[in-house]
Structure 1
Amino acid sequence: MKVILLERITKLGQMGDVVDVKSGYARNYLLPQHKALSASKANIESFEARKIQLEATNLETKTEAEALGAKLDGQQFVVIRSASDSGSLYGSVTPRDASEVASAGGFEIDRKQISVVSPIKELGLHNMSVKLHPEVIVTIELNVARSKEEAELQASGKSIQELAAQAEAEAEFEIAELFDEIGAAADEFGDDDYTPAAKEEAVADEDEA
């Protein structure tokens, strides 16, 4: 089906181009979204008569989008979600979620303007594209964490996996120190005299010291 584009469409063409597309794509998306008109003789003539006005409107909306994009591009928004210790989310973060946190941050963005390469199902920092205009696309970053404190750590460059590994290493170190203290006490008392009660007393003495 041939249509005349009313705005720039990625991989299709520029405003005013007459292109051939699949009928379903035209009827289900391009035409109802007012992004194109069927390329009939009457519609082509109508477009030519309105071309200057359409180009002026497009330029105006593009300028507004560029101004917003300059403020929005690179912005980071925090999304708090429940997740397992390994960092896997109980669900996923969607463009709707991104739209809500961006709006809460002072940027009115429709979820339909936001796209993600793959579903976000892990804690961490994730990028999403925001199409403010057919010719203006910017990137925002979602900081998905279980708490604001965790989000701050992630923003500083630490991943949840690194934090978990660090906590595990600290726990193992504390256990190793405890065994070292018990071993040292055993050497001091000797195997025969080192009863369980003496062991407990030695460890208590070590803690007080």
Structure 2
Amino acid sequence: MDVILLERIERLGQMGDVVTVKPGFARNYLLPRKKALRATEANRAVFDQQRAQLEAENLKHREEAERVAKGIAGLTVVIVRQASDSDQLYGSVTPRDIAAGITDAGVTADRRQIKLDRPIKTVGMHSVRVDLHPEVSVEVIVNIARTEEEAGFQARGERINRDGEIVNIEEGAIEVETVFEEGAAPEAEELAVAEDAAPEAETPAEEAGAEEAAPSEEDFEKTEG
């Protein structure tokens, strides 16, 4: 299916580009989220008429995102979770958890802005990408620990070993694991949609999002400008 992009889509194109994608990807993701229009003659004419307005709105949103990015660049979010002696979490930390941590720090964030190529399942320091706008991203550090005290040790490049001793990590350096990959937007969206599919008693209204199909690698195979 040919569509007209209404914003920059990673690995697909820029605003105004006409690209070919799989019909399911268009119907379940691009069109309902107003990221694209069907590339009909009528829609092409409408887009051409409104392009200047769309570009002006995009510029406004991008400038606001850049302002927010400066405020949270380098932000560390502490998340306390139960874990085994081998540092494996009992469960995982998801985009929803990270978005809540960023919001608690004073900047409203949505789970769809959090880009992970996999859920986080270990204690430690993790670098996570946050997409504030299709053209503006920032990295934050997610410090996952069993207690606030342990999080403080990790932030200083220290850990508590199994004997209860405080030890340095590589001469005090902070080891940060990157849990996203450049150009991995489809996988990140898949995690966000998968979260919607999981039932949560405290947020039943959000279960409707489970109907949205996640972008997959195949959706990006065939494109043209």
Q: TM-score, normalised by structure 1?
A: 0.76
Determine the structure 2 residue equivalent to 1:89.
89
SS of the residue corresponding to residue 164 of structure 1 reads coil
Q: Distance in 1 between matches of 2:150 and 2:164?
A: 14
Counterpart of 1:164, as a letter, is R
SS of the residue corresponding to residue 125 of structure 2 reads strand
Matched residue count = 167
Q: Shift in Å at residue 168 of structure 1?
A: 10
Q: Distance in 1 between matches of 2:33 and 2:84?
A: 41
Paired residues of 2:150 and 2:159 also in contact (CA < 8 A): no
Determine the structure 2 residue equivalent to 1:176.
none
SS of the residue corresponding to residue 7 of structure 2 reads coil
Paired residues of 2:4 and 2:37 also in contact (CA < 8 A): yes
Determine the structure 1 residue equivalent to 2:170.
none
The Cα offsets for residues 148-184 of structure 1, whole Å up to 9 and x where unpaired, read as 1111000001245xx3366399xxxxxxxxxxxxxxx
Q: Distance in 1 between matches of 2:137 and 2:166?
A: 42
Q: Distance in 2 between matches of 1:55 and 1:111?
A: 25
Relative to structure 1, is the Cα distance of residues 128 and 49 closer, same or farther in structure 2, using a 3 angstrom cutoff? same
Paired residues of 1:124 and 1:159 also in contact (CA < 8 A): no
Mean CA deviation greater in 112-121 or 86-95: 112-121
Paired residues of 1:117 and 1:128 also in contact (CA < 8 A): no
Q: Shift in Å at residue 79 of structure 1?
A: 0.2
Kindly report which structure 2 residues correspond to 1:1-209, keeping only aligned pairs within 5 A, or say none.
Answer: 1-160=1-160, 163-164=161-162, 167=165
Q: Distance in 2 between matches of 1:127 and 1:19?
A: 32
The Cα offsets for residues 7-28 of structure 1, whole Å up to 9 and x where unpaired, read as 1111111111111111011000
Q: Distance in 2 between matches of 1:159 and 1:41?
A: 61
The Cα offsets for residues 73-108 of structure 1, whole Å up to 9 and x where unpaired, read as 221010001111221111100111101111111010
Paired residues of 1:125 and 1:142 also in contact (CA < 8 A): yes
Q: Distance in 2 between matches of 1:158 and 1:32?
A: 47
Structure 2 stretches lacking a partner, 5+ long: 168-225
Counterpart of 1:40, as a letter, is T
Q: Distance in 2 between matches of 1:30 and 1:24?
A: 9
The Cα offsets for residues 30-54 of structure 1, whole Å up to 9 and x where unpaired, read as 0000000000000000000001000
Paired residues of 2:158 and 2:166 also in contact (CA < 8 A): no
The CA RMSD measured in Å over matched residues stands at 1.6
Q: Distance in 1 between matches of 2:69 and 2:58?
A: 16
Structure 1 stretches lacking a partner, 5+ long: 170-209
Q: Identify the structure with bigger relative contact order (alpha carbons < 8 Å, sequence gap 6+).
A: 2
Higher helix share: 1
Counterpart of 2:162, as a letter, is A
Runs of 4+ in 1 over 2 A off after TM superposition: 163-169
